[in-house]
Structure 1
Amino acid sequence: MDLKCILLIVGLVVFTGTASGNKPAKPNIVFILADDFGFNDIGYHAVNHNSKMKTPFLDSLAMAGVRLENYYVQPICSPSRSQLMSGRYQIHTGLQHYIIEPRQRHGLPLDNILLPEQLKRCGYNTHMVGKWHLGFFKEEYTPWKRGFDTYFGYLTGGEDYYTRYRCDGAKFCGYDMSTEGGPTNKTYGEYSAHFFASKAGEVIKSHNTSNPMFLYVAFQSVHSPMQVPESYSKPFAFIKDKNRQIYGGMVAAMDEAVKNITEHLQAAGMWDNTLLIFSTDNGGQTLSGGNNWPLRGRKLTLWEGGVKGVGFVHGKILNVPNPNVITNNELIHVSDWFPTILSAAQCQKAPGTQSLDGYDQWNTILKNARSSRSEILHNIDPLFVPMYYKKTKFTNSTVRMGFDTSVHAGIRVRDWKLLTGEQGMDSWVEPPESHVSTEYHDVDQLDHPGYQMFNHKPVQLFNIKYDPEERVEVSDLYPEIVDELLARLVVYNKTAVPVVFPPEEEEADPARLGGFWQPWVK
């Protein structure tokens, strides 16, 4: 055989992948998103913070991967999911306020070219299993119209784990389970963590490995309602707090489900070429079993307990030792996944792609290089009223550096974090299994031990590097830092689009739509 033939054969092997001819040059990407999973609820945090939560399989992935210990998400689900899918802050998509409600004509704007649409252009087969929660009033807003080849999951959020039934108020109730072909209830009675893992397995098994795969698994776990097969919660029977006891089982079931998904990947011969990303969508909801100790606050707040997320990346492509004792402490935000995944996939943005607020962090993850970002806009929400409490304290406009400090907002610049306006629940909640929780559950009262009245000031400043628990408010000591961060809020606010939060409509009633939550506007 002459030299030209040898070079040609070598070139073909390099181009098509390994000698088996089945593995694409680009990595498979599996993104697993947990729902309401608290900072103190993954095993490798829990063991150091008086928690009894156990996640042996997630721990094993994280310990052989890159743990992200300076990683931030949004404090509630729709905004986090929107930033993951679009790479844009919610002030640039109209999603500044709360979630997308089931009966709203509301969704992640169509002028955003979403992550799966980008990856499809680069040769990826794209699939989604799980919770969408980014709008569905028109079919154009559904996941199967926004870049996913296949879909199986919830369009809203908060469903029954077995029946898929959910109500919006007392009057509007129906089943929430859809595929790209329309509503279905074939999985009625099966626990959602189990069937989501099973559906992911079906996608993996049927995947043509000559193309790379993007699989987005957005678990319902561990969001309320508090439901899990008894065999999972039984090991946590020693916990007196019933919600926490059930929550422990829900965490264990999710941990097992992730393990099952990786076993499907291994069986399909795809695991060695898969980049697996795990993230929570927001901080834990302490009223529903979650825990963020020792961080302050919970889901729905801009305190660290609401926005500092559990996250890690695993894959042979990272070439990390096992076990890996090194953590990544670079500043990373959920909006960064959009450009970072495109970089890992060797995928150029599509022409006309929206301007991004996320940064490419692939070298930060792959090589532990310095983060590309030095600041995070947590949010600016002029409509914010804290849930669970009946009144707000900041009703008078006070403008400083051109920013109305009565507005609910938060920004991180370097090690400094500034909060303005009302912040809602502001206490530190210990794991109920370690001590009697300090949190009071009567949400109709303000004057109780769990609602510690520290947030009287419309402007609060913390140094997160030296005070990660936000216990020492220092705005009076560093007025120049306050002014610098307020000036940054002004810059961001000038780029904000109007808040979109339309009224809810009776036309969306599932009773009008065959008993299912599904698109109602033609």
Structure 2
Amino acid sequence: MSLYATLVLANILCLFDQSLAASTPNIVFVLADDYGYNDIGYHGSQIQTPTLDKLADSGVKLENYYVQPICTPTRSQLMSGRYQIHTGLQHGIIWPEQPNGLPLNSPTLADKMKEAGYSTHMVGKWHLGFYRKEYLPWNRGFDTYFGYLTGSEDYYKHTRGFKFTSKAYLDLHNEQGPVKNESGHYSAHLFTQKAIDVINNHNEKKPLFLYLAYQSVHGPLEVPQHYEDKYEHIQNKERRTYAGMVSAMDEGVRNVTEALKSKGLWSNTVFIFSTDNGGIPKVAGNNFPLRGHKGTLWDGGMHGVGFVAGGVLKPDRAGKVSKDLIHVSDWYPTLVGLAKGSFNGCLPLDGVDQWDTINSGMPSKRLILLHNIDPLHQRSGLPLYPNTWDTSVRAAIRSGSYKLITGDPGPGDWTPPPDSSDEQPKSNDVTSLDKSLYFQTETSSLKNVWLFNITADPTEHNDLSEERPEVVKAMLTLLSKINATAVPVRYPPFDPSSDPAQHGDVWGPWE
């Protein structure tokens, strides 16, 4: 090729890069961990979240938005666009000692964004398997990675205990290997700084995809003292520390968005904030007035905090509240669609593209939502209806306004925040509750079917299962049809070979 032809080609490629960056938005996805429905300011919380409130007010609040009840399932559906029953991750989480991971048979969201020409980066919690190198985030579509691979750890030491010995080992990595020089650096600050570094170093010839998965506010309860001091009015020590952790995260989000604006990226950015599941009252999180908590099939476990902001949204969408049904699996087709990417090579998706719903107020394309079917969970009671779904199996499904739960849903308390027993519900889309109902639970261990109209009864007080048996039967039939598409559960036994002591005292691949 002549020098002239080479220069012409270089100019064409440069113009193509500039055109790509201009025509496709930057996408920044921030995921909080174990963040309760009642722990954000705009839901009437006692915790201050000025950054999140301001961002949400500038964009679209998602008030009929669902995630999964626990960590790995939400992250797996975000990265795959597929229900747990289609990835084998129906039961529990991926434990560090398990040879398990999000299956390799379909591209991740990061794979598709990279394929569409994006610069792809992840900071924070992975929790989708690492027992073989193929499962590591930098081998699953991310150009760079900085974070931890397991499910929880110390916020300062960045260590996690090993189940067989309880000794703690380092879990902090980038794409080059273990990171051993950040002990004492609080993770919310550390991850925020790494995300800002990604933004500042971004080459604007490509659009940016940044996935920031904070450790905050998962246990253990740890935060620098000055954040906790803001909440001297909260008498409960655990709740006070938790509130400080939320404030540290809120500050981190502020610094990330300011970096995007300073870099000149905000006007062409879609910014998404989401929790991965509900809070845990025993670890000071709160979902009031919703019923239940993390790990349960009540809405407190999976009715997520979520909103969309950024300069790409239409101006008239500022301050809107969407009550359309949206699920975490929907982000995959929505974001790949925004990136003008291809779905070639993908297995069938369970998510649907929700951009028109978010940005134009069009009705949601989603009418049915499978929360989960877990055949390994302990059965509860006896099957109620012959020749249809076995109601002793743990499952939950949403169809329109109706939600059906079968099997054991987990504890069903309505728990107000500590030190706030007199606090009345302030969030939108909920009904006022009689205080006598706050701590009611099911009294019969044999009961294994519940039906709620979530639109009319978002706090799940009025069980309609006996009143509307025809709806119950129709939804049981629907469960059976969906379950027929399920793959076997992937939940291998713990492997002693995972012991970090055998691998340089660092959590990482062992096969």
The answer to whether TM tops 0.5 is yes
Residue among 269, 276, 279 paired with 2:271? 276
What's 1:435 paired with? 421
What's 1:41 paired with? 39
Q: How much does 1:520 deviate? A: 0.5
User: How many Å separate the matches in 1 of 2:444 and 2:296?
Assistant: 12
What's 1:440 paired with? none
- Asked if residue 32 in structure 1 is aligned to residue 51 in structure 2, the reply is no
Give the counterpart letter for 1:356 in structure 2: L
User: How many Å separate the matches in 1 of 2:422 and 2:235?
Assistant: 9
Q: Over the residues paired in the alignment, what is the CA RMSD in angstroms?
A: 1.9
What's 1:453 paired with? 442
TM-score for both structures, normalised by structure 2: 0.91
User: How many Å separate the matches in 1 of 2:400 and 2:314?
Assistant: 29
Residue among 95, 103, 115 paired with 2:97? 103
What's 1:247 paired with? 242
Q: How much does 1:325 deviate? A: 3.5
TM-score for both structures, normalised by structure 1: 0.89
What's 2:308 paired with? 313
What's 1:347 paired with? 341
Give the counterpart letter for 1:130 in structure 2: G
User: How many Å separate the matches in 2 of 1:510 and 1:190?
Assistant: 22
Residue among 69, 85, 89 paired with 1:91? 85
What's 1:203 paired with? 198
Residue among 186, 195, 209 paired with 1:191? 186
- Asked if residue 418 in structure 1 is aligned to residue 404 in structure 2, the reply is yes
Residue among 491, 495, 510 paired with 2:485? 495
Give the counterpart letter for 1:514 in structure 2: G
User: How many Å separate the matches in 1 of 2:338 and 2:204?
Assistant: 18
Give the counterpart letter for 1:485 in structure 2: M
Give the counterpart letter for 2:59 in structure 1: G
Q: List aligned pairs for 1:221-236, cutoff 5 A.
A: 221-236=216-231
Q: Secondary structure at the match of 2:28?
A: strand
Q: Secondary structure at the match of 1:404?
A: coil
User: How many Å separate the matches in 1 of 2:114 and 2:289?
Assistant: 41
User: How many Å separate the matches in 1 of 2:464 and 2:24?
Assistant: 48
- Asked if residue 371 in structure 1 is aligned to residue 364 in structure 2, the reply is yes
What's 1:404 paired with? 390
Per the alignment, do residues 170 and 244 of structure 1 end up closer, same or farther by CA in structure 2, a change over 3 Å counting?
farther
Q: Is the contact made by 1:64 and 1:321 (CA closer than 8 Å) also made in structure 2?
A: no
Q: How much does 1:397 deviate? A: 4.6
Q: Is the contact made by 1:22 and 1:209 (CA closer than 8 Å) also made in structure 2?
A: no
- Asked if residue 147 in structure 1 is aligned to residue 141 in structure 2, the reply is yes
Q: How much does 1:459 deviate? A: 1.0
Farther-moved stretch of structure 1 (170-179 vs 106-115): 170-179
Q: Is the contact made by 2:403 and 2:451 (CA closer than 8 Å) also made in structure 1?
A: yes
Q: How much does 1:121 deviate? A: 0.9
Number of residue pairs aligned between Structure 1 and Structure 2: 483
What's 1:6 paired with? none
Q: Secondary structure at the match of 1:276?
A: strand
Q: How much does 1:102 deviate? A: 0.2
Give the percent of matched residue pairs that are identical in Structure 1 and Structure 2. Answer: 51
User: How many Å separate the matches in 2 of 1:346 and 1:42?
Assistant: 33
Residue among 287, 290, 299 paired with 2:285? 290
Tell me the alpha carbon deviations over residues 412-448 of structure 1, each in whole angstroms, 9 at most, x when there is no partner: 00000000011111100001131289xxxxxxxxxxx
Tell me the alpha carbon deviations over residues 195-233 of structure 1, each in whole angstroms, 9 at most, x when there is no partner: 101001111111110100100000000000000001001
Q: Secondary structure at the match of 1:406?
A: coil
Q: Is the contact made by 1:37 and 1:290 (CA closer than 8 Å) also made in structure 2?
A: yes
Give the counterpart letter for 1:486 in structure 2: L
**Structure 2 stretches lacking a partner, 5+ long:** 1-11, 424-437
User: How many Å separate the matches in 2 of 1:396 and 1:84?
Assistant: 34
What's 1:9 paired with? none
**Structure 1 stretches lacking a partner, 5+ long:** 1-11, 386-391, 438-448
Per the alignment, do residues 401 and 65 of structure 1 end up closer, same or farther by CA in structure 2, a change over 3 Å counting?
farther
User: How many Å separate the matches in 2 of 1:171 and 1:478?
Assistant: 52
Q: Is the contact made by 1:104 and 1:505 (CA closer than 8 Å) also made in structure 2?
A: yes
Q: How much does 1:15 deviate? A: 6.6
Q: Is the contact made by 1:411 and 1:418 (CA closer than 8 Å) also made in structure 2?
A: yes
User: How many Å separate the matches in 1 of 2:188 and 2:356?
Assistant: 33
